[in-house]
Amino acid sequence: MTALLQSFESLERRPLRTFLTALGTALGIATIVALLAVAGGAQASATKFLSLGGSDLGLFQRDAADPTTSVLPLALVSELRRTRGVQAATPLVLLVGEIHRSPGAIAFGAYPDSFVTDRYVFLQGHMLTGDRQVAVGSGLAAQLHLHVGDTLSIAHRELSVSGIYHMGVPEQDDGAVIAFGLAQALAGKQGEATTIAVSLAPTVSRSQGVETIRRRFPGLLILGDGVSAPRAGVSGVLLSRLALVLAVIALVIGGVGVMNTMLMAVTERRTEFALLAAVGWSGPQIALRVMAEGVLTSLIGAALGLLLGVIGAQLLVGLLGAGEYVAPNVTAWDLGRALLVGVLLGVLGGMYPAWRAARLSPAKVLAER
């Protein structure tokens, strides 16, 4: 404790250097936090589209950065309906992050009499009947304590809850359904959809159906066929791998920064450490004093990094133009990890300088003048 207090004092004496070192660590940690948050958000969003339910397929624009940014022309729907093996096709517009009381929930814009919504089992009330109504999934209703007749705000529209459904697919039960036209208007997608759900005829096998659609519409990404499914998560997975690599680089830079500063401090204050040795401080006691300074510096950095990271995550999402679909989620676990990393950086970066300080020869150093 004393060691920590004293190291705080010695950091206070060199505020600029401490700040710059801490900033180095902070940038490293901010990078990690931002990337993890975005990657986590992207992955979470992407995987949600995998389950449209049942044996259906979800069609997305193939070259979209992420399935969430997919845009398909509505004209495709009637073409699909004419395709052999397709029993039904219906467009969906997905709104992510627009249910403000539950940012992770998806609002599905769908036609109330489509094959997707026909499967909903209503626990209370009924399917929506107009632009001013919303049907709420059982999970979301439980979470927000919603009942029929309550209002739910989606993209700043106050909608009245017409019914509460259960489907058995978590993403849909934790979301809500609004009128297709309203969703289009809210998303600014006139004449377009995010995805088109397709139900295959029982007469064709799944792979046959997928093959037919693939040949006819090579520009489409077909999800739900068990083959392409993992691709939906691809950008998310890639992003989190990239995050890991960048994080390691950032950490090395942060660690080297801490080490450099601590080495400088040890060199400057060699008389201090030699004196401590001369009056009976043990090697480990001296090393601990140096380490405490390193850890304290990088903890300051970590705290700063968390802040920058949370801000950075928003900026990054904005920069990538994915703000509509990727909601960066910074979890307490992310924050805890970042702090842990801060301590680790201080310990790792401080280790060599601490060892140097503990090994100084008091005879040599104290005789210098």
Ligand X SMILES: Nc1ncnc2c1ncn2[C@@H]1O[C@H](COP(=O)(O)OP(=O)(O)OP(=O)(O)O)[C@@H](O)[C@H]1O
Supply angle C-alpha 78, 82, 83, rounded to 5: 115
Site string for ligand X, 327-366 (x = CB under 6 A): -------------------------------------x--
CA nearest to 178, candidates 137, 104, 128, 113: 128
From the list other proteins, ligand X, none, partner contacted by residue 2 (C-beta under 5 to 8 A by kind): other proteins
Q: How far is the CB of 363 from other proteins (least distance, A)?
A: 4
From the list ligand X, other proteins, none, partner contacted by residue 78 (C-beta under 5 to 8 A by kind): none
From the list ligand X, other proteins, none, partner contacted by residue 282 (C-beta under 5 to 8 A by kind): other proteins
Query: Given the complex with other proteins, which of 9 and 113 has the nearer CB atom?
Result: 9
Query: Given the complex with other proteins, which of 158 and 268 has the nearer CB atom?
Result: 268
Residue of 1, 5, 279, 367 that binds ligand X (CB under 6 A): 367
From the list other proteins, ligand X, none, partner contacted by residue 276 (C-beta under 5 to 8 A by kind): other proteins
Could you tell me how many residues of this chain bind ligand X (CB under 6 A)? 2
Binding site for other proteins (CB under 8 A): 2, 9-10, 13, 271-272, 275-283, 285, 361-364, 366-367, 369
Query: Given the complex with other proteins, which of 205 and 285 has the nearer CB atom?
Result: 285
The alpha carbon dihedral of 13, 17, 23, 26 has a sign of: negative
Query: Given the complex with other proteins, which of 53 and 283 has the nearer CB atom?
Result: 283
Joined together, the tokens standing for residue 358 give 């503990």
For residues 50 and 65, what is the distance between their CA atoms, to the nearest angstrom?
Answer: 16
Query: What type of residue sits at position 93?
Result: V
From the list ligand X, other proteins, none, partner contacted by residue 125 (C-beta under 5 to 8 A by kind): none
For residues 241 and 133, what is the distance between their CA atoms, to the nearest angstrom?
Answer: 41
CA nearest to 362, candidates 299, 291, 272: 272
Q: Establish if 1 lies at the interface with ligand X (CB under 6 A).
A: no
Q: How far is the CB of 1 from other proteins (least distance, A)?
A: 9
Strands 133-137 and 157-166 come out as: parallel
Query: Given the complex with ligand X, which of 53 and 362 has the nearer CB atom?
Result: 362
Query: Given the complex with other proteins, which of 48 and 289 has the nearer CB atom?
Result: 289
Give the three-class secondary structure for 83.
Answer: coil
Q: How far is the CB of 347 from ligand X (least distance, A)?
A: 32
Query: Given the complex with ligand X, which of 50 and 365 has the nearer CB atom?
Result: 365
Joined together, the tokens standing for residue 162 give 């017409």
Give, as one character, the DSSP assignment of residue 227: S
Query: Given the complex with other proteins, which of 53 and 362 has the nearer CB atom?
Result: 362
Place of tokens 């060892």: 355
Place of tokens 């969003």: 45
Supply angle C-alpha 211, 214, 219, rounded to 5: 170
Q: Can you list the pairs that 113-119 forms with residues at least 24 positions away whose Cβ atoms lie under 8 Å?
A: 114/88, 114/90, 114/197, 115/87, 115/88, 115/90, 115/197, 115/199, 116/52, 116/53, 116/56, 116/90, 116/92, 116/197, 117/177, 119/53, 119/54, 119/167
Q: How far is the CB of 367 from ligand X (least distance, A)?
A: 5
From the list ligand X, other proteins, none, partner contacted by residue 63 (C-beta under 5 to 8 A by kind): none
Q: How far is the CB of 308 from ligand X (least distance, A)?
A: 47
Query: Given the complex with ligand X, which of 143 and 271 has the nearer CB atom?
Result: 271
Count Cα neighbours of 25 within 13 Å in the Cβ-side half-sphere: 36
The alpha carbon dihedral of 169, 175, 181, 185 has a sign of: negative
From the list other proteins, ligand X, none, partner contacted by residue 285 (C-beta under 5 to 8 A by kind): other proteins
What backbone torsions phi and psi does residue 192 show, to the nearest 5 degrees? -135, 165
Interacting residues toward ligand X by CB under 6 A: 364, 367
